[in-house]
Amino acid sequence: MSKTATLEIDGNRYEFPIIEGTENELGIDIKALRGVTNGVTTIDPGYKNTGSCESAITFLDGEKGILRYRGYSIEELAEKADFLEVAYLLIFGELPTAVQLEKFDKDIKEESHVDEDMKKILDGFPKSAHPMGVLSSLTSALIAFNPGSVDVDSEEEMYNAIVKILAKFPVLAAWTMRKRKSLPLDYGDSSLGYVENLHKMMFARPNKTYEPNKLVYDALDKLLILHADHEQNCSTSTVRIVGSSHAGLFASLSAGISALWGPLHGGANQAVIEMLEAIKADGGDTAKYINKAKDKNDPFRLMGFGHRVYKNFDPRAKIIKKSAEEVLGDLGIEDPVLDIAKGLSSVALEDEYFVQRKLYPNVDFYSGIIYRALGIPTEMFTVMFALGRLPGWIAQWREMRLRKEPIGRPRQIYIGENHRTFKTVSER
């Protein structure tokens, strides 16, 4: 028997269907609300209670700390898959066969050149430009050099645009980092795997032999998998709403990169390390910073803590914390900020303020410690997040387009002036 919800307004009762997802989530379908109630809408700042779509890509349960991509647990994928397999899974819905994976990899490698004129655009940025701003701009600029990637309606046209951006994005990310270090722009090596090639493009030096390092590749691969998708977060919702105007994949991704940049979202991984460094410089006084985080009059927040959906441990944070300890151990690195992070976390998890608000470490709390151990500059941390999230954004954009979702256009409740007539300057 299908469920319904009843709404009563001014004595009138309205029934709305309740849809049930495959994990028993319930959503009141209010598509007819405005029409049957003569204009009544809902209001939900930050969309804390509002679903924007039905999606088959990622399932997460914030209360139980569950995260699955296309039904596979994040724990299994982080342990057993590689990033390109997970990208294929998210975008096309199934783990690839060996033949499918080989073709996907080959199609991406075919597209891994970037138009030389793109370097002129990169040259226009000062070295001090934040890499996320550069990357968002370069991603948008790619459209001019790949006009066929905009007006894509067929699955084949979408596939071509998808392999192009999967191929070129890591090049642009590596170029963004190398530009800041005044290094020659590198194309890497198409004989390498996706993550290995990314690492080589980022770290190869013209005057040194590049040393492959499987430990580093494995750590990077796992981090990218853990960041690959997270259902309707801020940047993914941005990608979907920009894509809903048919602006094209690259334009949608450029907007998503800008949304991810914010310190409340993906920018938190950079903010966490800056916070931990500040605590270290301040003598490691974690209690002082916990109190600052709790003080309503202090704008300071414990970066890397709290989450809109997870009201339990972020399952990714658990894996990343363990991986941070392993990577630092394997690389023989002693990083005092890891101890400060662990100290901060254990104090916060015992503190009533955080317990009552169900604030736990999120994906960003420990990730920067690994990026740092891998030699990635702090200002590049959110670019690493974007590299991981790329297949998730693509998958969500493709799902929205294939489902022919309508253009996103929320309503509002107007609280401004009522009608008034114009007054000339002399009358004011």
Binding region for ligand SDX (CB under 6 A) out of 36-44, 50-58, 200-208, 361-369: 361-369
Q: Which of 170, 306, 315, 368 binds ligand SDX (CB under 6 A)?
A: 306
CA-to-CA distance for 331 and 13, rounded, in angstroms?
A: 65
The candidate with the shortest Cα–Cα distance to 231, out of 28, 399, 42, is: 399
Closer CB to ligand SDX, 197 or 270, in the complex: 270
CB 239 within 8 A of CB 396: yes
CA-to-CA distance for 234 and 256, rounded, in angstroms?
A: 8
Residue among 227, 230, 265, 307 flagged as catalytic = 307
Q: Does 180 bind ligand SDX (CB under 6 A)?
A: no
307 labelled catalytic: yes
Residue 411 CB: number of other CB atoms within 10 A?
Answer: 11
* Residues contacting ligand SDX: total by CB under 6 A: 22
The one-letter amino acid at 325: E
Q: Which of 139, 146, 233, 258 binds ligand SDX (CB under 6 A)?
A: 233
Q: How far is the CB of 398 from ligand SDX (least distance, A)?
A: 18
Identify the bridge partners of residue 7 per DSSP, sorted by sequence position.
14
Q: How far is the CB of 51 from ligand SDX (least distance, A)?
A: 14
Q: How far is the CB of 294 from ligand SDX (least distance, A)?
A: 7
Cross-sheet strand order for the sheet of 66-69 = 58-61, 66-69, 72-73
CA-to-CA distance for 299 and 38, rounded, in angstroms?
A: 42
Q: Does 186 bind ligand SDX (CB under 6 A)?
A: no
Closer CB to ligand SDX, 105 or 364, in the complex: 364
Q: Does 136 bind ligand SDX (CB under 6 A)?
A: no
Q: Does 268 bind ligand SDX (CB under 6 A)?
A: yes
Q: Which of 78, 166, 293, 324 binds ligand SDX (CB under 6 A)?
A: 293
User: Counting every residue, how long is the chain?
Assistant: 428
Q: Does 303 bind ligand SDX (CB under 6 A)?
A: yes
Q: Does 286 bind ligand SDX (CB under 6 A)?
A: no
Binding region for ligand SDX (CB under 6 A) out of 18-26, 129-137, 172-180, 262-270: 262-270
Q: How far is the CB of 274 from ligand SDX (least distance, A)?
A: 12
Binding region for ligand SDX (CB under 6 A) out of 33-41, 101-109, 239-247, 300-308: 300-308
* Residue 162, C-beta contacts closer than 8 angstroms, at least 6 positions apart: 91, 249, 394, 398
Q: Which of 103, 109, 246, 301 binds ligand SDX (CB under 6 A)?
A: 301
Residues between 145 and 174 with contacts to ligand SDX, criterion CB under 6 A: none
3-state secondary structure of 144: helix
Q: Which of 304, 315, 368, 391 binds ligand SDX (CB under 6 A)?
A: 304
Residues between 20 and 49 with contacts to ligand SDX, criterion CB under 6 A: 46
How far is residue 68 from each of residues 86, 100, 398, 403, measured CA to CA in Å? 11, 22, 19, 21
Residue 97 CB: number of other CB atoms within 10 A?
Answer: 10
* Residue 104, C-beta contacts closer than 8 angstroms, at least 6 positions apart: 84, 88, 96, 163
Show the DSSP H helices in 19-130 as ranges.
33-36, 74-80, 83-92, 98-110, 118-123
Task: State the catalytic residues.
Answer: 307, 364
Residues that bind ligand SDX (CB under 6 A): 46, 230, 233, 264-266, 268, 293, 301-309, 357, 359, 362-364
